[in-house]
Amino acid sequence: MTSNFVNSYLISFNTYLLQPIQHNSKVFTHVIDKHNELIVTRKPMHVLRKSCISLGSTYEAAKLSAKRFFGNQHKLPIVVAFDYGYPCIFLPTYSPNSIHNIWIGLHAIINITPSQTGCVVTLKNSKTIELPIQYASISKQFLNASMLYKYYMNERKQLSQDAPYHPPF
């Protein structure tokens, strides 16, 4: 695979997937986004943490927020940022601390199907990625991320209903 190498990357709704890849003796991040694929010369967790900070939060705050909603589970989806009030949620395929963990944007998933070796995830750009993860496991991750999305959208709706009306002049 020939890809562009970059030193940094900021996650957005254009980001579909962050996958660890071995490059010589280091772990880099293979990014699939709306427009292209590239290699970030940092680990996926570094990209995630830096994105959270750049977008006004921290990974720890995002994790704590998810724990308040789900309880003390591991493999929690997190809100990396909000864009015009919409949560940008990424779900982990393994424990976030695992070197094998892949982060997938909830907004990027079109379909998940079982396969002989785990499952196949179809992304918005029609790219498919085969993962050695049980279909039931990734389905649970998808469901959790969807529940978190619904929760934040309900919170957003409540805030907009509680806000006093101010004419636009």
**Distance (Å, rounded) from C-alpha 13 to C-alpha 9?**
13
At which residue do the structure tokens 């209903």 appear? 161
Tens-digit pLDDT profile for residues 152-162: 999 888 877 76
Phi-psi label, residue 121: left if phi above 0, alpha if psi -120 to 50, beta otherwise: beta
Long-range contacts made by residues 110-116, C-beta under 8 angstroms, separation at least 24? 112/138, 112/139, 112/142
Residues of the chain with pLDDT under 70: 1-3, 162-169
- In DSSP notation, 68-120 reads HHH-S-SS--EEEEEETTEEEEEEESS-TTSTT--EEEGGGEEEEEEETTEEE
pLDDT at res. 56 = 87
pLDDT at res. 74 = 81
pTM comes to 0.91
Which residue in 47, 35, 152, 51 sits closest to 101, CA to CA? Answer: 47
Which residue in 59, 118, 68 sits closest to 90, CA to CA? Answer: 59
> What's the chain's length in residues?
169
